[in-house]
Structure 1
Amino acid sequence: MRTIICLFSFILSSLLATRQSPNPEIISAKDGEIKIYPVLHSTMAIQYQELTIYLDPYGGKKAFEGVPEANLILITDIHGDHMNLETLNELEAQSTQILAPQAVVDQLTPAFTNLTVLANGETTSIQGVDILAIPMYNLPEDSTSRHPKGRGNGYLLTIGGKRIYISGDTEDIAEMRALKNIDIAFICMNLPYTMTVDAAADAVLDFKPKVVYPFHYRGKGGFSDVESFKRTINVSSDETEVRLINWYPEKE
């Protein structure tokens, strides 16, 4: 297993060595614009005015070339493509403010000194951003779950008057379907870790975000069919715009 992980890290490093800096998505917001940089898989940077948030930093420092430095980091869960200690160390994030669930904080070393714990259903305001921790978990809720309810967080951010939902590793749970007035949503879809394309589309049709980005769509069998996800939404609703962007440097 260690050999496989090392080989994957070597391949990933080689791919990132030749990739160009990610181009940001631009979202109009109050008093400016929000820039969203797709970095890798579920890793992104969100920039608004003087604030830059990294979500689930992964891929090493190389992945963030051309991306503004973070002054806030959000982490969703303990798995290595979300809580990646090597990347956090390369980014020298030991004193950067990090918000995460307790399970993540428990795995960070004492070198990380600026930590805020947020549990499902809790809210906080950090550097002008309102943050609500949304549950993320697998269905059915049983002992086989890769993501048990309560361990990890999805996040609902309010930035520049925009409500941005980041699903984390989840299935089409009731808490997602109950969301209201979402401007931008990032929705995972990869088996066997999260949900199918059809389940993701069905949930999106329920909560009707204005814009949705598929992300975290590489699974055990390869890449999920995000074009099919887009077609399903387009056929069924004119309330949600699906935007497809590339989260994987090997696809460039």
Structure 2
Amino acid sequence: MVDRILGGVRFLGHSTVRIEIGGRVVLTDPVLTGWVGPLVRVVPPLGPGDWAGVDLVLVSHLHGDHLHLPSLRLVADARIVVPKGAGAWLRGKGFGRVEELGVGQQLVDGDLTVTATYAEHSGHRWGPRLTHGPDAPAVGHLLEGGGRRVYVAGDTDLFPGMAELGPVDVAFLPVWGWGLTLGPGHLDPQRAARAVELIRPKVSVPVHWGTLAPVGLANAPGRVGARMRRLLTEPGHEFAAAARGTQVVVTRPGTEVPLRQGA
């Protein structure tokens, strides 16, 4: 028997995933434009159909490649859920339907329940070394609806509490980033494979890779450009090779995730 795990799911790129679950359309960490500050989208562009009909937007933390103001303005009619402590700052930017969710807190929307989970990652808007400006603890999200449990990690490194999240039907796990190196608070393909051992998902989908790069770097000559091009194409497949005990679905940014499970 082949079982459809969720409704339609599309990996739109970076940490942006469109998920139909519990009768709702959820969009995670929307980055919908061709530019994010000094970063450029290096895969085909998105269009209005990719974010049409979104009911709920989940923002994991305040970094510009996860809370992207121009992209949020494209989905401003939806409920926008941000980490606890970030609501006032976002309302000050002109957004009206903003709600906060702290670690362990839940939001119920129809048949969908969203729980904010701990994330091992800096929550400061401008990075871990600065103390001025907006700051709110980073979170992940556990989605439950229609008899399914889905974990969307946002940005995080490994933490012991991951073992308490599972098992889940689907886990969306970051496996890289947008540059030549990873800073603290991130998973690479091998550490994401270790996260699979803790969370025990039936299906794992690598995200946070293959989408954004510093301007000009993807086409740069020499070893630096070659390394950037490799990091735009290989992390998802490296994760698939390293992960055990899960079905890995590697999907290119901008395409449907074929979440079907054989029984």
- TM-score (normalizing by structure 2): 0.70
Instruction: Report which structure shows greater RCO (CA 8 Å, sep ≥6).
Output: 2
Please, which of 138, 144, 150 is the counterpart of residue 152 of structure 1? Answer: 138
Question: SS of the residue aligned with 1:120?
Answer: coil
In structure 2, C-alpha distance between the alignment counterparts of 1:88 and 1:150, rounded to whole Å: 18
State the number of aligned residues.
211
Question: SS of the residue aligned with 2:46?
Answer: helix
Question: SS of the residue aligned with 1:112?
Answer: coil
In structure 1, C-alpha distance between the alignment counterparts of 2:111 and 2:49, rounded to whole Å: 24
Residue 74 of structure 2 is aligned to residue 90 of structure 1: yes
After superposition, where does 1:215-230 map in structure 2 within 5 Å? 215-218=207-210, 221=228, 222-223=231-232, 225-230=235-240
| Equivalent in the alignment of 1:52 | 25
In structure 2, C-alpha distance between the alignment counterparts of 1:63 and 1:240, rounded to whole Å: 29
Q: What residue ranges of structure 2 are gaps of 5+ in the alignment?
A: 35-44, 130-134, 214-227, 256-263
**CA root-mean-square deviation:** 3.0
Question: SS of the residue aligned with 1:76?
Answer: coil
| Equivalent in the alignment of 1:28 | 4
Alpha-carbon distance change, 240 to 187 in structure 1, aligned in 2, over 3 angstroms:
same
Q: Which runs of 4+ in 1 moved over 6 A?
A: none
1:167 Cα deviation from its structure 2 partner:
0.5
| Equivalent in the alignment of 2:182 | 192
1:225 Cα deviation from its structure 2 partner:
2.2
Question: SS of the residue aligned with 1:107?
Answer: helix
| Equivalent in the alignment of 1:17 | none
Question: SS of the residue aligned with 1:34?
Answer: coil
Contact 1:177 1:204 in 2 (8 A): no
Please, which of 186, 189, 196 is the counterpart of residue 204 of structure 1? Answer: 196
User: 39-48 or 107-116, which moves further after superposition?
Assistant: 107-116
Percent sequence identity is: 24
Q: What residue ranges of structure 1 are gaps of 5+ in the alignment?
A: 1-25
Q: Deviations over 1:184-209 (max 9, x none)?
A: 00001224141221111112123220
Residue 60 of structure 2 is aligned to residue 76 of structure 1: yes
Q: Deviations over 1:140-196 (max 9, x none)?
A: xxxx847xx961110000021110000111011112233222000000122414122
- TM-score (normalizing by structure 1): 0.73
1:129 Cα deviation from its structure 2 partner:
0.9
Question: SS of the residue aligned with 1:88?
Answer: helix
1:108 Cα deviation from its structure 2 partner:
1.2
Please, which of 137, 160, 163 is the counterpart of residue 174 of structure 1? Answer: 160
